[in-house]
Structure 1
């Protein structure tokens, strides 16, 4: 299940007025005050969603609370929940597959199992109006960077590929991970999470994949220096 914890701005974005009445998918009475207090379940993913306006267009910033992996949904249509879910799910899988391809991680990916579990995770979703202070600080930083980039480009990302490149750049930045009490790269954390939850890897397999990722990146840095 996908749990989207919405800030005040995101809650307003997903809501609309129809025949004088407010219509919203957002539940303003979540089961607990913080995402961490929710009951844990298999393939339950907690995300924080924030909405901003850039160049008069709606932009959603979505962050995975556990790994701090983020995605930018630019030019989003207000109150279009189905459109958001589609773009979100496609961008998430695209970003992970792109990352796996670039870092030679396919030996650790069970494609059939991954697809089954991914479809199961995305088959249900809920929206709660709920904050997460720590993740919000990271979202605010990404928001400032994105607005600077958009001003430099003179436009929002022209397509999902360009937006995905921005995602990839942001997810390389080290962020404080409160689970591990240190700074970690969100893309590496998401790959590890993905291999455990969606590809059936044990800790030995996850560690081997992460070691391979670090080796590929080390080789890339050496090539750049030479």
Structure 2
């Protein structure tokens, strides 16, 4: 399952008030830190942990405003690859999930093509993604290390918007994300610097087990029907 850990700014974005009642898709996290959840995954009661290999893919969601436009920064906890796109409808997690998945797959295909990944292998990785990630959860939780990298992305985004114009089109966001993924990064527990672009691609091609052969996706439940 996909786990979206939301900073304070993102938590506010995913919350709306209707008739005096605050409505939000966020639910309390099972652990204080993301690292604990990665080490010891805990699944919601209505999710069968072993149905999809007990895999959790953690992301950290942040929201920033540049020249009156809101942008969502969604960073992969492991690779630190950051998807960047215009904010979707406030408080609408389905709208967010649709845009997130569209941008994530587009970014993967863009990077895979640049790296020379075989198209059949790339398609197989995407099929395995759809097979394994059919539900998700939103938690109000951040991470200091990830936040540092998110702040760096936010700074470059602001510079880009002020100097070269606002980012508005999908191809602009993909190119910006790939550009940010070229910077060397470090994180606690890593023995050396790493590059987000490389680790992100490796996540798809290794962790998603593309070498196992084709999978049947005829009964895949997509994130638009995620657990409520």
TM-score by length of 1: 0.82
1:166 is matched with 176
1:32-47 equivalences in 2 (<5 Å): 32-38=31-37, 39-40=40-41, 42-47=54-59
Say which structure is richer in helix: 1
| Equivalent pair of 1:2/1:121 in contact (CA under 8 Å) | no
Q: CA deviation at 1:108?
A: 8.2
- Let me know the Cα RMSD of the aligned residues: 1.9
Q: Partners of 1:150 and 1:121 in 2: how far apart?
A: 36
Matched residue of 1:196: which SS? helix
Map Cα deviations across residues 173-222 of structure 1 (whole Å, 9 max, x no partner).
Answer: 111043432111101011111111224349xxxxxxxxxxxxxxxxxxxx
Corresponding residue pairs, total: 199
1:135 is matched with 146
Map Cα deviations across residues 113-157 of structure 1 (whole Å, 9 max, x no partner).
Answer: x233211344211100012000000000110110111111332x2
2:10 is matched with 10
Structure 1 unaligned segments of length 5 or more: list them.
203-226
| Equivalent pair of 1:10/1:50 in contact (CA under 8 Å) | yes
Structure 2 unaligned segments of length 5 or more: list them.
42-52, 213-228
| Equivalent pair of 1:8/1:129 in contact (CA under 8 Å) | yes
Matched residue of 2:193: which SS? strand
Q: Partners of 2:72 and 2:122 in 1: how far apart?
A: 31
1:82-101 equivalences in 2 (<5 Å): 82-101=94-113
Task: Confirm whether residue 48 of structure 1 aligns to residue 60 of structure 2.
Answer: yes
Matched residue of 2:142: which SS? coil
| Equivalent pair of 1:109/1:199 in contact (CA under 8 Å) | no
Task: Confirm whether residue 115 of structure 1 aligns to residue 126 of structure 2.
Answer: yes
Moved over 6 A (4+): none
